Amino acid sequence: MKLLLVEDEKRMAQALSELLRQENYDVDTCSDGPSGLEAARGTPYDMIILDVMLPGMDGFQIARTLRREKIRTPILMLTARSGLDDTVAGLDSGADDYLTKPFMAKELFARLRALARRNLPSGDGTLSFGDIVLEAGTASLVCTAAGQSVRLSEKEYRLLEYLIANQGQILTREQLAVRIWGFDHEAEYNNVEVYLSFTRKKLAFVGSQTAIKAVRGIGYELRYEHV
Ligand code: CA
């Protein structure tokens, strides 16, 4: 697995790349924004670990530029603060996940494995599962069987995207809350139910046989129940 690490703090970069190599990742490192962008453009990496605060060009700009150029390499953003703004900005700029410094190596490896498992959007920016397709460009949910489509709100889109990317796995309410709101906050857990219900209504609206199933006491899973 070929990985690009863009991190300007020398000791951090060194420690991280050693750890990653021990886990059999093939690591290239860059220590500033512009060289990170050039490397990401020029080499087909499997994943990019991107620090936010970088000399020359920050991580948000790099992620945005890559996405604009249709380079869809999964990006794990390293944010220094646990601030909501950074996290939201990170995900909005096109990062796939984020990790707040300081973090444990175990946590980093878990995130990288999750990223590697992702069902990445196909070349035209769509994700699909069962009889549904998510169109990134128009933020629409399409039921291919029924030929119906509906626009999704940003949160509904993020919710379905996350469920599709992790198909076959049960996701907890906490995982969904963190993914949608980008932070871990008790008060938001109930809102997850609200957005799940909005999203279910839209699935029903387009006539889809795909359902968000609650797994009692564990979480939620996407299932296609074709009859
Ligand atoms: Ca930095």
In the reported structure, the alpha carbon of residue 35 is separated from the centroid of ligand 1 by a whole-number distance in angstroms of 14
In the reported structure, the alpha carbon of residue 71 is separated from the centroid of ligand 1 by a whole-number distance in angstroms of 23
Are the beta carbons of 108 and 99 closer than 8 angstroms?
A: yes
Instruction: Provide the pLDDT confidence category of residue 1 given band limits of 50, 70 and 90.
Output: confident
Class of domain 126-224: mainly alpha
pLDDT on residue 118: 63
Q: Is the pTM of this model over 0.85?
A: no
Location of each CATH 1.10.10.10 domain in the chain = 126-224
SS3 state of residue 206: coil
pLDDT on residue 176: 85
Closest CA to 46 of 120, 97, 107: 120
Question: Which has more pLDDT, 111 or 56?
Answer: 56
Location of each CATH 3.40.50.2300 domain in the chain = 2-118
Crossing angle between the packed helical segments 10-22 and 105-117, to the nearest 10 degrees: 60
In the reported structure, the alpha carbon of residue 159 is separated from the centroid of ligand 1 by a whole-number distance in angstroms of 30
Most confident residue range from 13-27, 79-93, 156-170, 182-196: 13-27
pLDDT on residue 223: 94
SS3 state of residue 156: helix
- Residues present in the chain in total: 227
In the reported structure, the alpha carbon of residue 170 is separated from the centroid of ligand 1 by a whole-number distance in angstroms of 34
Residue 42: CB atoms within 10 Å: 8
pLDDT on residue 67: 87
In the reported structure, the alpha carbon of residue 74 is separated from the centroid of ligand 1 by a whole-number distance in angstroms of 19
Instruction: Provide the pLDDT confidence category of residue 125 given band limits of 50, 70 and 90.
Output: low
- Domain spanning 2-118, CATH architecture: 3-Layer(aba) Sandwich (3.40)
In the reported structure, the alpha carbon of residue 40 is separated from the centroid of ligand 1 by a whole-number distance in angstroms of 17
In the reported structure, the alpha carbon of residue 31 is separated from the centroid of ligand 1 by a whole-number distance in angstroms of 9
In the predicted model, what is the mean pLDDT of residues 71-96?
A: 78
| Distance (Å, whole) CA 86 – CA 91 | 9
Closest CA to 222 of 208, 4, 62, 123: 208
SS3 state of residue 182: coil
